[in-house]
Amino acid sequence: MPERELTIEVLCERLPSQCLPHGPIYLGIQKGRDVAEVVPASQGRAVFHPTFRVTAVDGQPNFLGPYAQGKREERFFYLSWGTKPDDGQFEMFRRLKVHLSHLSLARVRKAAKPGGSLRVTLDMTDTCGGALCGSAREGERAQWHG
């Protein structure tokens, strides 16, 4: 498969606006080592559109680019929780790993075509009412469409 570009629509629902002991919190997406597109969680919802370059290796998609994290066979991207102290700089305290390794090559090819799409919807509040962290796999906290 020649290299293709794939944008994933990431819908983050039910953002908790507070996370003790942190106070007001923010959500962003990790791009390289930095956290980008930071939004206040108090708005309740966030949408990100990370773009990946995708090739095929051994019949599986290989996600590349600044949003892609982890080993080739276990690719994922991070959504990062943080605060903004008095200086206004984002300080991460927790993050969520959103897995990509379950996506088949056929699904990625279809989504990367003109008119194609791939979307993931995430419930961002954990069972205790706090900011969801750890891992989000398909069918658990991550609902994939497309």
The H or E element spanning position 111 is helix 105-112
Query: 25-55 pLDDT, tens per residue?
Result: 999 999 999 999 999 999 999 999 999 999 9
Query: Could you check whether the bond before residue 21 is cis, i.e. omega within 30 degrees of 0?
Result: yes
Contact of 70 with 52, CB cutoff 8 Å: no
Whether 60 is in a domain gets the answer yes
List the domain range (segments joined by +) for residue 39. Answer: 4-133
Q: How many domains is the chain built from?
A: 1
Per-residue pLDDT tens over the stretch 85-133:
888 899 999 999 999 999 999 999 999 888 888 999 999 999 888 899 9
The one-letter code for the residue type at 136 is A
Does the global pTM surpass 0.85? yes
For residue 139, tell me if it sits in a domain. no
> Is 94 a member of any domain?
yes
**Is residue 141 included in any domain, yes or no?**
no
